[in-house]
Amino acid sequence: MSAGDATYEEVKKLSQSSTGYIIDVRNPEEVQRGKIPNSINIPVAEFEAALRMDPETFQKTFHVEKPKPSEENIITHCFMGKRGAQATAIAAALGYSHARNYPGAYMEWAEKEGH
């Protein structure tokens, strides 16, 4: 079970922090059109395999430390919310009990940030 949903305000705060993870599960072509600062792109089709990677492989692949299942700030998002919700469910099933979806997704972010 996931820890619920994240709000725009929570994502904004986390995007300005050096702690936690904002994971963008859109395809790379979508991310090229705009992204939330400090987010990591792991397409939803690769998400489960990524969370199953050993920490060294994850670091080499995504250039960040692999989140621990106990990490309290893991927020997934996509463009409209559906893939983000799928990714959050995958994370929760793998023991990342604090993982949350940002249902407003990049669509809300871009609107509020004026992109």
Which of 74, 78, 91, 99 is catalytic? The answer is 78
Distance, in Å, from the CA atom of 101 to the CA atom of 18, rounded to the nearest integer, reads: 19
**Cα angle: 84, vertex 51, 15; to 5 degrees:** 50
For 68-85, b/e burial (b = at least 16 CB within 10 A) is eeebebbbbbbbebebbb
What is the maximum span of the chain, computed from C-alpha positions, in angstroms? 38
Q: Is 78 a catalytic residue?
A: yes
* Side-chain-facing half-sphere of 7: CA atoms under 13 Å: 3
- So which residues are the catalytic ones? 78
